[in-house]
Amino acid sequence: MKKVGIYAKKNHPDVEKIVFDIRDRLNRDDITVLLEDSVAELIGQVNGFSGDEIPDLVDLVIVLGGDGTLISVARQIGERRVPIVGVNLGRLGFLTEITRDELPGMLDRLVTGEYKISERMMLDSFIYRNGQQIGKYTVLNDIVINKGALARIIDMDASIDGRHLCTYKADGLIIATPTGSTGYSLAAGGPIIFPEINSLLISPICPHMLTNRPVVVWSRSVINIEVKFQDDVVFFTADGQVGRKLLPGDRVEVRRSESRTLLVRSPSKDYFEILRTKLSWGER
Active site residues: 67
Closest CA to 75 of 136, 9, 34: 136
Cα dihedral sign, 53-260-144-193 = negative
Q: Do residues 119 and 130 touch, judged by C-beta distance below 8 A?
A: no
Q: Do residues 178 and 203 touch, judged by C-beta distance below 8 A?
A: no
Q: Which residues pair with 251 in a beta bridge?
A: 128, 226
Distances (CA, A) of 53 to 33, 215, 282: 14, 38, 44
Q: How far apart are CA 196 and CA 7, in angstroms?
A: 25
Neighbours of 116 (CB within 10 A): 10
Q: Do residues 51 and 37 touch, judged by C-beta distance below 8 A?
A: yes
Do the bridges between strand 84-88 and strand 60-65 make them parallel or antiparallel, or are there none, so unpaired? parallel
